[in-house]
Chains A and B, each alone.
Chain A
Amino acid sequence: MKKKDKYINRKQALKKMGRYAGLTALGTFLLLNPKKSQANSPLPPGDGWE
């Protein structure tokens, strides 16, 4: 089994996160997604003003 298969898919993840999925920054999703995380350096951190 490939390593990434051990992780739940996006749909399952979004269901588990509930309403907060929509508020989660893209950077956090990218870091938690094995395939995308390998392909991208983490996004530059925010400047703190949200």
Chain B
Amino acid sequence: MNSVNRFIAKIFSDQAIDILSFPEKNDNKFWDKFVKIGSSHYIIPALYSKFKERNFLVLISDELSSYMRHIYDLNLKRNLELEKESSEISSIFLANNIDHVFLKGAALISSIYEHDIGIRMIGDIDILVKKSQILKAKSILLLDGYSTKNTGPFKPFLNDSDYRINHLQRLINKNKLFAVELHFDLSKNKSIDTDILIKRKQKSNGIYIPNNINLLNHTIINFQENDNGSLKAGFHFRTLFDVYNLSKTQPHILDKLPISEHLQRIKVVLNNLNLLKFKTPLKLLLFELRFRLIHSFYIFSLINSIIIVVFLFLSTPITIRLKQIKALFLQKDYRKYALKKIRIVK
């Protein structure tokens, strides 16, 4: 684990940092890496907020401080808009008796980050809707000006049923800032009972969100399972920041979550970043060794990435691969997107 990762974990978890060991302002190598990692993990606003709270801004260069403040300010403006748009959708859904909860970023800024809503970077508005009402919810948003057209870099050629994801196609609205994703499920392996999650919802700042236990469980499952964090033995600071802050909302909350391999694995990750005290069970020692090697030596990281890419490629159903191959030949926009993605064209 490199020193920048350890430093970032210390900053956002309020661990004591000896001022004498604080990196020098002019240590460009360190701070450049800090920006690269912080921005790829979407936590520059969180780091800025923590630096400010802990009076560390005087210890970094003016240029870095102003850069971080700028990203934070832009994010804050976006999230203020997100609050407004979430609230509008909530009103429409309630008026039409749609049973729903807001998830992820929208839920977090209306609850644990309500005191500092610029702290969390958010891509879109995710909403879990009762399965039997999902199409009604979509129609309501379509009537409200949302659309599924032009929501991506190429014309979609897969149906909703082809996606092994848990939501309908993204909805966008030219008069709104945020795209909306309507979820009918929350995990690839259906490990979260969505009906119970909706039933146990709580109201926070005017919108319905999962209770804190379910919010924490979904945050973990979403990264470890849906984004393949467990498979890759990877970690994402934005997720760890959310998990860390949610775990402080009530004593022993992590012990109240359903026991799963994903929970155990994220505990190993948290332990290795000194964010949680956890004794690694025997069956996860190999996972821990892999995690340490991947995050300490580039060669292991590279080998791990190649194996994962091949595995994910082979695990995609043949029917979807055939549709992709057909689109590669017949759809110019998809061809351009695919070639860019594998870095054959810029």
Task: Report A's interface with B, CB cutoff 8 A.
Answer: 2-4, 6-7, 13, 16-21, 23-25, 27-28, 31-32, 34, 37-42, 44-50
Interface of A is mostly: helix
Contact of A25 among B32, B40, B70, B74 (CB under 8 A): B40
User: What are 15 A-B interface contacts by the 8 Å CB criterion?
Assistant: A3-B81, A13-B70, A17-B67, A20-B64, A23-B35, A24-B35, A28-B40, A28-B42, A38-B178, A41-B170, A45-B234, A46-B37, A47-B235, A48-B5, A49-B301
Task: Report B's interface with A, CB cutoff 8 A.
Answer: 2, 4-5, 32-33, 35-37, 39-42, 44, 63-64, 66-67, 70-71, 74-75, 77-78, 81, 121-124, 150-153, 170, 172, 175-179, 223, 227, 232, 234-236, 238-239, 294-295, 298, 301, 304-305
CA distance A5 to B138 in the complex (A): 28
Q: Contact: B67 with A49, CB < 8 Å?
A: no
Q: Contact: B70 with A45, CB < 8 Å?
A: no
A31 in contact with B152 given A37-B123, A41-B123, A47-B232 (CB within 8 Å): no
**Residues of chain A within 8 A of B152, CB atoms compared:** 39-40
Q: Contact: A48 with B234, CB < 8 Å?
A: yes
Q: Which 10 A-B pairs have the closest CB atoms?
A: A25-B40, A45-B236, A42-B123, A49-B301, A25-B39, A28-B39, A47-B234, A46-B40, A20-B67, A24-B39
Q: Contact: A37 with B179, CB < 8 Å?
A: yes
**Residues of chain A within 8 A of B172, CB atoms compared:** 38-39
Q: Contact: B298 with A45, CB < 8 Å?
A: no
CA distance A2 to B175 in the complex (A): 7
Q: Contact: B41 with A46, CB < 8 Å?
A: yes
A3 smallest CB distance to B (angstroms):
5
Q: Contact: A45 with B40, CB < 8 Å?
A: yes
CA distance A17 to B74 in the complex (A): 12
CA distance A36 to B179 in the complex (A): 10
**Residues of chain B within 8 A of A23, CB atoms compared:** 32, 35-36, 39
A25 in contact with B123 given A17-B67, A45-B41 (CB within 8 Å): no
**Residues of chain B within 8 A of A38, CB atoms compared:** 124, 151, 172, 177-179
Q: Contact: B153 with A39, CB < 8 Å?
A: yes
Q: Contact: A31 with B123, CB < 8 Å?
A: yes
Q: Contact: A48 with B71, CB < 8 Å?
A: no
A47 in contact with B4 given A27-B40, A32-B75, A38-B178 (CB within 8 Å): no
A41 smallest CB distance to B (angstroms):
6
**Residues of chain A within 8 A of B179, CB atoms compared:** 37-39
**Residues of chain A within 8 A of B66, CB atoms compared:** 16, 18
Q: Contact: B40 with A34, CB < 8 Å?
A: no
Of chain A, the residue at the smallest CB distance from B170 is A41
Q: Contact: A16 with B178, CB < 8 Å?
A: no
CA distance A49 to B302 in the complex (A): 9
CA distance A21 to B67 in the complex (A): 8
CA distance A45 to B35 in the complex (A): 15
**Residues of chain A within 8 A of B301, CB atoms compared:** 47, 49
**Residues of chain B within 8 A of A49, CB atoms compared:** 294-295, 298, 301
Q: Contact: B70 with A16, CB < 8 Å?
A: yes
**Residues of chain A within 8 A of B124, CB atoms compared:** 37-38, 41
**Residues of chain B within 8 A of A40, CB atoms compared:** 123, 152-153
In the complex, given contacts A24-B39, A45-B234, what are 20 additional A-B residue pairs having Cβ atoms less than 8 angstroms apart?
Answer: A3-B175, A3-B177, A16-B67, A18-B66, A19-B63, A23-B36, A23-B39, A24-B36, A27-B39, A28-B40, A32-B71, A32-B74, A32-B75, A37-B179, A40-B123, A45-B236, A46-B236, A48-B235, A49-B295, A50-B40
Q: Contact: A7 with B77, CB < 8 Å?
A: yes
A21 smallest CB distance to B (angstroms):
8
Q: Contact: B77 with A31, CB < 8 Å?
A: no
